[in-house]
Amino acid sequence: MVVTLIGTGNVGTHLLRALQSAGHETVQLQGRTFRCDDVRGEVVIVCVKDDTIAQVAERLKDTKALVVHTSGSVPLTALPCRRRGVLYPMQTFSKTREVNFCEVPVFLEAENAEDMKLLVRLASTLTRHVQQIDSDCRRRLHLAAVLACNFVNHCYDMAAEVLHDCDLPFSTLLPLIDETARKVHQLQPREAQTGPAVRFDQQVILRQEVMLAGREREIYHLMSENIHDYHDKL
Amino acid sequence: MVVTLIGTGNVGTHLLRALQSAGHETVQLQGRTFRCDDVRGEVVIVCVKDDTIAQVAERLKDTKALVVHTSGSVPLTALPCRRRGVLYPMQTFSKTREVNFCEVPVFLEAENAEDMKLLVRLASTLTRHVQQIDSDCRRRLHLAAVLACNFVNHCYDMAAEVLHDCDLPFSTLLPLIDETARKVHQLQPREAQTGPAVRFDQQVILRQEVMLAGREREIYHLMSENIHDYHDKL
């Protein structure tokens, strides 16, 4: 297939590599400078910051190609194009890290069966996990992804800050981090929960809270209360 | 070695299995009912809730054995015993899940070189990762572990709640969860961060915040602000 990809960020970089590995002919354009005339092929993938998708797609109004964005949170209808769709790869992409794209779940949306067929055909060359979901379901999925990935990584980062003070490398935590992730392959997170908050070990909770300051202390407090509440409901 | 283990919780259950697999002769006693006369062997491991360690150890005042607890947050000095130490296995243990104990990092503390030697000898039969740290370092490590494991798992749980509403199984998130954990083997968490908060994608952040209610909304708000702050410092 011939595919135009607009954008040079994390998602764009990884998607371009995946398209090329799958043997597609690709044209990569910059979001700021491209013109509609530069577009080649049947599908245009818009990989720009969520806030600028509509504005970039405005310049694609006249193309006959299927225009898709890659965002979890932006509805299909944000694209002011004749043929429109979504190809949302749910993964955390950094430029400095290789990702095995065949393992990335990709969620598709299109307005008609013909365009969906085209998207399924394209996505199936990139990954083994292709699923159709609508805009409302996708925005929930994206929120879940922010919680299970971005917030999780920030918990790692707050832990790294705590370890700075006692000369232990971050890698000390890796066996624990790995087991925490592996565990939810077998148990639901509710059953997998351990630690002072779920045991309601109030002395430990209070001692740990005062080791933190400012916003981290607030986060610690709210997370501990929330863990306790989730388990009180059982 | 002959070892007495007091307690029947998650840590006690896994530690007992590990001791037995390593060929030690073990006696397991209940925290509530045991008497000092029941103790056998050179080492007594107290695996009870943090809040009750001191109280349980009070009944071990007269033993000649080395008494150790397994808590991350309780100082060595909480044990009112003649010979005292700590053997803290940093892992998340649930009764319904097997753990490969040789991969569990174990952190040791003792008051004299003789007892430390004994503890190192014992711990080295259980795991390949044995390290000596003092009580102050251990309480920081435990806080880091709560952030990187218990809070991470709670983020998974909040994500599971969000998915309930759109008929997607929790397993949809597993490729993302796995990559998030694998990523910090290669990158520091600061570099690994992705998502709307670090991009400061305010429209997405606001839209996602209003999809949550109550304490979850507060947590979302504070975490997003904190991620942004960590990266603003760079």
Rounded (10°) angle between helices A152-164 and B174-183:
20
User: Nearest CA to B65 among B50, B85, B49, B47?
Assistant: B85
User: Alpha-carbon distance A39 to A35, whole Å?
Assistant: 8
Average pLDDT over residues B22-31: 97
Structure tokens at B180: 């998030």
A157 touches chain B (CB under 8 A): yes
> Would you state the pLDDT for residue B165?
82
pLDDT tens digits along A92-113: 999 999 999 999 999 999 999 9
Confidence at A232, pLDDT banded by 50, 70, 90: confident
Residues 195-234 of B with CB under 8 A from A: 195-199, 201-204, 207-208, 211-212, 215-216, 218-220, 222-223, 225-227, 229-230
On chain A, the residues whose CB falls within 8 A of the CB of B50 are 196, 201, 203-204
Structure tokens at B19: 């001791």
Average pLDDT over residues A192-210: 94
pLDDT tens digits along B34-56: 999 999 999 999 999 998 999 99
> Would you state the pLDDT for residue B169?
96
**Burial label, B32 (beta-carbon count in 10 A; 0-12, 13-18, 19+):** exposed
Which of B133, B154, B160 is opposite residue A188, by nearest beta carbon? Answer: B160
3-state helix, strand, coil split of chain A in percent (to 5) is: 50, 15, 35
Confidence at A234, pLDDT banded by 50, 70, 90: low
Whole-prediction pTM: 0.95
User: Alpha-carbon distance A59 to A132, whole Å?
Assistant: 27
Distance from CA of A32 to the nearest CA of B (A): 18
Average pLDDT over residues B88-114: 96
| Dihedral angle over CA of A109, A114, A119, A120, nearest 10 | 100
Distance from CA of B30 to the nearest CA of A (A): 18
On chain A, the residues whose CB falls within 8 A of the CB of B216 are 226
Q: Which of A93-97, A144-148, A223-227, B107-111 has the lowest mean pLDDT?
A: A93-97
* Closest residue of chain B to A95, computed from CA coordinates: B192
Identify the bridge partners of residue B199 per DSSP, sorted by sequence position: none
Which string of DSSP letters, residue by residue, matches A172-204? GGHHHHHHHHHHTTTS-HHHH--SHHHHT-HHH
> Would you state the pLDDT for residue A233?
64
> Would you state the pLDDT for residue B233?
64
> Would you state the pLDDT for residue B234?
57
Average pLDDT over residues A68-79: 96
3-state helix, strand, coil split of chain B in percent (to 5) is: 50, 15, 35
User: Nearest CA to B70 among B54, B93, B55, B86?
Assistant: B86
Indicate the average pLDDT of chain B: 96
- With a cut of 60, say whether residue A50 has pLDDT above it: yes
Contact B197, B222 (CB under 8 A): no
* Closest residue of chain B to A197, computed from CA coordinates: B150
Distance from CA of A56 to the nearest CA of B (A): 16
- With a cut of 90, say whether residue B25 has pLDDT above it: yes
- With a cut of 90, say whether residue B200 has pLDDT above it: no
pLDDT tens digits along B133-178: 999 999 999 999 999 999 999 999 999 999 998 889 999 999 999 9
- With a cut of 90, say whether residue B232 has pLDDT above it: no
Please judge whether B189 and A10 are an interchain contact, meaning their C-beta atoms are less than 8 angstroms apart. no
